[in-house]
């Protein structure tokens, strides 16, 4: 295990979500450019402590305790309903070009092997599918969150910077029409978005014009689920088309 990895043992009940957030932020401070706040202060103060000591110090940290108490009361869910729940949060992150599973209830982090920035989310998705989802078929209580750029801050592909094309790709028209969007609206979207399927689909889904039929709404939910695993929208749309709209086959296709 690399010495650069920051790991905290969980000694406080119902704090797995907070510890997962700490693991995600602490191991990516440089990339996130965080230089202030209770988590930053705690990490810097405990950088030389071992995981056991960090876990005990976390329970005594007043700033993080206050933040935990405030955020746990947000939203529509009553925290009291989950005091005795079996739900649990863990974190997957990349440190020193290796994928690590960080679970504060375990004795140590789990190294899942080499990975890259481009491949990390896909590698994590494979581990999650194999070690968690596949072992409990039919279970619906899974949720994935990714830590990444805010909406509107993505780095667009080079093709978005190229001159506008007047010719519409008929294969992309067929893809979007097959999702339930009217052909006339699809043609407009592709023309406005320079034949980029992902951007055109975003336009269609957010347009105030005529909406697609009932088949498009569940499709968008499935697209968002796969995007949360790290796949880009254009690849997802293409995969759905190749797998006749079947979600499980599309996921397996994307995972390779």
Active site residue 214: no
Catalytic residue, chosen from 11, 16, 23, 98, is 16
Please say if 91 is a catalytic residue: no
- Catalytic hit among 11, 56, 88, 91: 88
Say how far apart CA 118 and CA 149 lie, in whole Å.
14
Task: Answer yes or no: are the C-beta atoms of 178 and 184 closer than 8 Å.
Answer: no
CA distance 37 to 101: 25
Residues tagged active-site: 16, 88
């Amino acid at each position: 295990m690399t010495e650069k990895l920051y790991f905290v043992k969980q000694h406080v009940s119902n704090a797995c979500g907070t510890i997962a957030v700490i693991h995600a932020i602490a191991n990516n401070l440089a990339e996130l450019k965080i230089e202030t706040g209770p988590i930053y202060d705690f990490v810097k103060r405990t950088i030389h402590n071992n995981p056991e000591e960090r876990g005990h110090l976390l329970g005594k940290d007043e700033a993080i305790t206050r933040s935990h108490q405030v955020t746990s009361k947000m939203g529509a869910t009553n925290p009291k309903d989950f005091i005795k729940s079996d739900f649990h949060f863990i974190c997957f992150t990349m440190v020193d070009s290796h994928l690590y599973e960080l679970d504060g209830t375990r004795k140590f982090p789990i190294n899942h092997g080499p990975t890259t920035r481009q491949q990390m989310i896909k590698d994590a998705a494979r581990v999650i599918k194999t070690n968690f989802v596949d072992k409990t078929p039919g279970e619906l209580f899974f949720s994935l969150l990714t830590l990444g750029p805010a909406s509107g801050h993505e780095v667009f592909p080079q093709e978005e910077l190229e001159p506008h094309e007047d010719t519409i790709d008929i294969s992309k028209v067929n893809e979007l029409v097959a999702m339930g969007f009217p052909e006339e609206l699809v043609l407009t979207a592709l023309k406005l978005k320079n034949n980029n399927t992902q951007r055109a689909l975003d336009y269609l889904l957010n347009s105030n014009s005529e909406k697609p039929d009932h088949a498009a709404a569940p499709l968008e939910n499935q697209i968002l689920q796969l995007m949360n695993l790290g796949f880009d929208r254009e690849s997802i749309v293409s995969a759905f088309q190749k797998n006749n709209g079947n979600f499980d086959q599309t996921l397996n296709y994307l995972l390779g």
